[in-house]
Amino acid sequence: MLGLRRLFGTNGIRGVVNKELTPEMAIKIGNTMGTFFQHGNLIVGYDARTSSPMLARAVIAGLNATGCNVLFAGMAPTPALQYAVKNHETNGAVIITASHNPPEYNGIKVVWSDGIEFSREQEIEIENIFFDEKVRYAEWNNIGATHDLPGVIDDYIEAIKKHVDNAEIAKKHYHVVVDAANSVGSLAAPRLLRELGCKVTTINANIDGTFPRRTPEPRPENLEDLALTVKAVDADLGVAYDGDADRSIFVDEQGEIHWGDKTFALLEKHFLKDNPSEKIVTPVSSSTLVKDIADTYGGEIVWTKVGSITVSQTMKKLNAKLGGEENGGIFYGLHQSVRDGAMATALILDIMAKTGEKLSKLLGELPKYFIEKGKIECPNELKEKVLEKLTEQLSRLNISTIDGVKIWFEDKSAILIRPSGTEPIYRLYAEAKTEEKALKLVREYSLKLKKIIDSLKS
């Protein structure tokens, strides 16, 4: 799927259905996971994609063949399935989802008994079983059983409600618009919000694996319907989820769409007010805004590589309670250390209710940054050398090389220069207190990069 001896990408196993990811492949992956878990009990569930039930049945057959027992949870948001693993104390879960990818894709995500996805070391173990044909089938009298596991979504909703002030939220009679991407986001969040006393209007809430209205990636450019609906019905809040409902992007009462690191910074601010000196985990791609808030409210930022699995693993290692990503991933460790769209929604409402302020005001009070992006072509084989040279040239600046190179400047501007994992390009993300400065940074560092690339080509 991803080339020689590689099953897992940055987001688990992904591929185009019936081309890269066939039912045969799913059975074999089931066999492999079953062998890895050594006949444990695993939860299986899936997202709203047209291919998900087919692939789930294939994975279940593969797991049962190795003696693994399956608790079949059916269609559910990914974070609800992750929560179920902890709640039912199973050995792990196999989740059929391709998250925000286009409809022709699907994927297989495997989580450990704590609900967190595998580390790279565990992935390699699984890849070795898969590619070296080390699958162990059970004897005919030890084949695993499959039982239905009802109530996963009910338990998940109850768990989220424990972390917010239900009475205070209910008092405010909020009106919330939910854009569920025609996927599993419609199964938990609208119910959760109604149980919290909100009036709920839904759009794109019928399950349809062709994703007819918008792509399952909640980017500001495809959330216009949500923004317009919030305005039209005079709602207090709008929220859009990705295809498996672990990411959430918010719209304020004025119809303005906010990117994830802003809402993360708001959650961080209120979390640190109650829990000063806690660690906040976030990828190096997040805005300096997140650091500003930590500095002001006494928290400690732990920067990580880009990728939700790294954030979860780092939170677990450091026992950190809050993590976040600019793409709308919020990790609330007191609930679970994985991205959770419905949990994030409840937390935002909790802050609105406790402060009595509108979301536009709460977000407007945060420090402001202007963001500019750029890209430069670079042959894949040169990427590593380019990074080495660039790091060398920048060594006297305040830099981090956790993932690409990030430079922080005295005037609070910053730039991240990072090779793309999928395309022959370098990406640049600059932020600054003025638009001009952000643009200038992108231009300046694009030139620097280009010079290095050209010198290595000749």
Looking at residue 10, the DSSP 8-state letter turns out to be: B
Name which of 244 and 261 has its Cβ closer to Mg ion.
244
CA distance 39 to 25: 20
In the structure encoding, which two tokens stand for residue 366, read together? Answer: 């945060």
Q: How many Cα atoms sit within 13 Å of 115 on the Cβ side? A: 26
- For residues 37 and 91, the answer to whether their CB atoms sit within 8 Å is yes
**Which positions are catalytic?**
99
Residue number, 244 or 431, with CB nearest to Mg ion: 244
CA dist., res. 100 & res. 109, Å (int) = 13
Other CB atoms closer than 10 Å to residue 124's CB: what's the count? 14
Tell me whether residue 31 or residue 327 sits nearer to Mg ion (CB atom): 327
Per-residue binder mask for Mg ion (CB under 5 A), 98-127, x = binder: -x----------------------------
| Alpha-carbon distance values, 370 to 185, 350, 432, 436, 447 (Å) | 31, 28, 5, 9, 21
Which tokens sit at 346? 């409840």
Q: How far is the CB of 16 from Mg ion (least distance, A)?
A: 18
- What DSSP letter does each residue of 394-442 carry, written as one string? TTTSEEE-SSSEEEE-TTS-EEEEEE-SSSSEEEEEEEESSHHHHHHHH
Report in angstroms how near the CB of residue 225 gets to Mg ion at its nearest.
20
- Cα separation, 184 vs 441, in Å, equals 40
Contacts with 255 (C-beta within 8 Å, 6 or more apart), sequence order: 227, 228, 230, 231, 238
CA pair distance 126, 223, nearest whole angstrom = 38
Q: Is 47 in the site for Mg ion (CB under 5 A)?
A: no
Contact (CB, 8 A) for 418 and 412: no
Tracing tokens 């590689």 back to the chain, one arrives at 6
- Given the complex with Mg ion, which of 301 and 346 has the nearer CB atom? 346
**Between 99 and 310, CB nearer to Mg ion:** 99
Nearest distance, CB of residue 21 and Mg ion, angstroms: 17
Count the site residues for Mg ion by CB under 5 A: 4
Query: What DSSP designation does 21 have?
Result: B
State the nearest-atom distance from the C-beta of 242 to Mg ion, in Å.
4
The least CB distance from residue 244 to Mg ion, in Å, is 4
Give the chain's radius of gyration (CA, Å): 22
Q: At 171, list the tokens.
A: 């008092």
Least Cβ distance, residue 193 to Mg ion (angstroms): 20
Q: How far is the CB of 99 from Mg ion (least distance, A)?
A: 3
User: Within 158-197, which residues bind Mg ion (CB under 5 A)?
Assistant: none
Q: Site mask, Mg ion, residues 225-254, x = CB under 5 A?
A: -----------------x-x-x--------
57 vs 100, which CB is nearer to Mg ion?
100
CB-based closest residue to Mg ion: 99
Q: Which is nearer to Mg ion, 97 or 286 (CB)?
A: 97
Binding site for Mg ion (CB under 5 A): 99, 242, 244, 246
